Structure 1
Amino acid sequence: MTDQNSDFADCSLHEPYALQVLGNEMEPEFPDQCIVIIRPTDVCKHQDYVFAEVENVRWFRQYSKDENGNERLIALNPLYPEIALTGVKWAVLGVIIQRNIRRQIKHYT
């Protein structure tokens, strides 16, 4: 017997979803309480805004890869340190494709 709901669940894992930003780590571009739309993917490019997991902790940051291949996650607010990705277990969970602040929408590509 086939579980018909399993097909739906698998499909929904590939659909964009919304999260609310909590905190000021990504200000001023993404202020506290704004809504972001995330497209699930496991790949990103330099300067993408990403939802990532590093050593079992999830982060919303900007991905950076320099000319030497060094990768890191950067908070836009300079009060927060960068997260070096060299030698740690990490994965991209999704890329931010839209931001909504009080019904003002901005798209990212």
Structure 2
Amino acid sequence: MSCGQNEPFALQVLGDSMEPEFVEGHIIIIEPDGAFKNGSYVFALYQDEYIFRQLVIDNERYFLKPLNDNYPTLEIETLDPVKGVITQRAGTRRREHKHYV
């Protein structure tokens, strides 16, 4: 059985670009049809690579911002690269579980 294009799916966080909120090994749930807004955590396609960042909307300009300052903030022309919104985070301990709206 395969997942539909609009079905939620889970991915494991790799790397440290979204620390301290999301550390390597956390599991994130992505909702392809989820509503996003300024400040949402999103899954996006940027230069043929899928990335996980925080969406920043500023005066009709769109940015994909890492939480770790060692990585650059990326400007995107439209919201088309955004492929889903992160709705949950899970870690190895219950206290690491969190929901996002």
TM-score by length of 2: 0.86
**C-alpha distance in 1 between matches for 2:81 and 2:44:** 6
**C-alpha distance in 1 between matches for 2:38 and 2:12:** 23
Quote how far apart the aligned CAs of 1:90 are: 4.7
Q: Does 1:98 align with 2:88?
A: yes
More helix by share: 1
Matches within 5 A, 1:5-20: 12-20=4-12
Q: Percent identity?
A: 43
Q: Which runs of 5+ in 2 are unaligned?
A: none
Opposite residue 75 of structure 1, the aligned amino acid is P
The alignment yields a C-alpha RMSD, in angstroms, of: 2.1
Quote how far apart the aligned CAs of 1:58 are: 1.1
Matches within 5 A, 1:22-33: 22-33=14-25
Conserved 8 A contact 1:42-1:93: no
Q: Which runs of 5+ in 1 are unaligned?
A: 1-7
Greater C-alpha radius of gyration: 1
Quote how far apart the aligned CAs of 1:71 are: 0.7
Opposite residue 65 of structure 1, the aligned amino acid is I
Opposite residue 72 of structure 2, the aligned amino acid is P
**C-alpha distance in 1 between matches for 2:43 and 2:66:** 12
TM-score by length of 1: 0.81
**C-alpha distance in 2 between matches for 1:14 and 1:103:** 29
Opposite residue 101 of structure 1, the aligned amino acid is G
**C-alpha distance in 1 between matches for 2:44 and 2:75:** 13
Q: Does 1:58 align with 2:50?
A: yes
Opposite residue 73 of structure 2, the aligned amino acid is E
**C-alpha distance in 1 between matches for 2:28 and 2:47:** 23
Quote how far apart the aligned CAs of 1:42 are: 7.5
